[in-house]
Amino acid sequence: MSVTEIESLLARTNALEEFDFATADTVLRNAMALSRNLFGTESSHVAELGYVVFRPSHITYNTGHYMNRVHWNEGTERLRRVLNAMAYELKISKAKGELQSPEKVTLKWLFHHVSVGGWLIAGGLLSAAFGFGVFAAKNDLLAKIIALFNSTPKP
């Protein structure tokens, strides 16, 4: 449903007549509301939509001035980019789906769901723990440190 809403807003953006500020502002407000609902108020899409402007805000130009066209083109292009990014992100998240946690974590499940890098990191941590144990057993420094903490001060 939301991808179709985004595509509808994109179609409305593509069909905008030049300098139709009322319709452009309506599409922008709808895109902003949809972005907040789908991605949250802190999303990058909401922030990017906040920068979309269709007319210069700091100065007023005559009707035929080229800067009006520059702001209009930049605003509509930025709106298109954000809408395309929103649609792409929704399509990716739907295609990827959510990873469901299993009822039981078995070695078979771990083998299929943990990457090779994860296995290497786990093996490295296990080797490091084993190596530290061997070092601690051969060296009496750790025993002296533990004895310092366990000893009670004598008055």
Query: Which tokens hold the place of 153?
Result: 């001060």
By C-alpha distance, which of 76, 87, 71, 89 is closest to 27? 76
User: In this predicted model, what pLDDT tens digit does every residue of 84-98 receive, in sequence order?
Assistant: 998 888 888 776 655
Over 52-106, what HEC string results? CCCCCCCCCCCCCCHHHHHHHHHHHHHHHHHHHHHHHHHHHHHHHCCCCCCCCCC
Q: What's the predicted TM-score (pTM) here?
A: 0.56
- pLDDT (tens digit per residue) in 120-153: 999 999 999 999 888 888 888 877 888 888 877 6
6 and 90 Cβ atoms separated by less than 8 Å: yes
pLDDT digit string, tens, across residues 37-54: 888 888 888 889 988 888
